[in-house]
Chain A
Amino acid sequence: MDLINLISEINMDDNYFYVVYVLVIFIILIFINLFQPYLKHKKILKKQRDKG
């Protein structure tokens, strides 16, 4: 109940769209920094496993 009350208290003005843009770009950058090393690591492991 408290959470629902908290969420219903959020009302933002129109300027909030700018915040959303920034948040989206931030999430994209974090995802890039998460997935690029992860995939590269997987590739290296796969390559060494295939080599035997």
Chain B
Amino acid sequence: MTSFNKVKDWFISMGSPPFLYKWIMKYLPFMILLSLLLVFISLSWGLFFAPTDYKQGDAYRIIYIHVPSAILSQSIFILMAITGGICLIWRAKVAGMLLRSAAPIGASFTLMALISGAIWGKPTWGTWWVWDARLTSTLILFFIYAAIVGIYSSIEDKTKGDRAAALLSLVGVSMIPIIKKSVDWWQTLHQPSTFTLTQSPSMPPEMYLPLLANVLGFYFLFIALLFLRLRTELALREQRKNWFKQKILGD
């Protein structure tokens, strides 16, 4: 019982900027190093030591960057919608800062998924791009990320910007399934494409395990990058407060 209370108290105290900032200053170097190490190990495993695919040769290894990036791009958007909801309902400043910190990272992962997918497509299926449902909806996801970044960077007042971005994330997350479905149907409204770019899910464990490791590593990397940006956002907003000045002058 008390351990649950301890976790609850930790969670609540994370909502206070001074506590959060000091926590980040303490654990951030460790988080970044650990996540970089994990990604290095999992990427090396996938890019070097996993077996070569007999059909696609070695270009298939892009999957170890492409799939985790795509998974992250969607998870981060959902996280933004959740923190956006918290920001709008409870007006929690830290929730707004989390949203602003997550957005550029999510956009980067989406971009990574798009680029790695295009580069993978060229040698494997002969084309950089095709307008099938999955690629098109990922591209649209990227545009929605860009819209969110655009809206909060265009509003000077930080709290207002947080709430506008939160609202857009919430509306965005509810529209994503609709967009996905309609782009899916688009293929039946018009001519279906000559080939689909769905990966075969049946993979031997020697290939599947590094993929899982990379997904895990990328999640760790996202958390580290998130706290890095959160630290900067905290500093940006609280820089004139007394606790901040005492903290940095004291260091």
Contact = CB atoms under 8 A, between A and B. Distances in A.
Direct A–B contact in the complex, CB atoms closer than 8 angstroms: yes
The number of chain A residues touching the other chain, given as a range, is 20 to 34
Interface in A1-52: 6, 10, 12-13, 15-16, 18-19, 21-23, 25-26, 29-30, 32-34, 37-38, 40-41, 44-45, 47-49
B249 interface: yes
B59 interface: yes
* Listed residue (A10, A22, A34, A40) with the most chain B CB atoms within 10 angstroms of its CB: A22
B248 interface: yes
24 contacts: A10-B48, A10-B49, A12-B58, A13-B52, A13-B58, A15-B57, A22-B66, A22-B115, A23-B47, A25-B116, A26-B69, A26-B112, A29-B112, A30-B221, A30-B225, A33-B105, A34-B228, A37-B232, A38-B228, A38-B232, A40-B236, A41-B235, A44-B239, A48-B244
Interface of B: 32, 43, 47-49, 52, 56-59, 61-62, 65-66, 69, 104-105, 108, 111-112, 115-116, 119-120, 122-123, 221, 225, 228-229, 231-232, 235-236, 239, 244-245, 248-249
Interface of A: 6, 10, 12-13, 15-16, 18-19, 21-23, 25-26, 29-30, 32-34, 37-38, 40-41, 44-45, 47-49
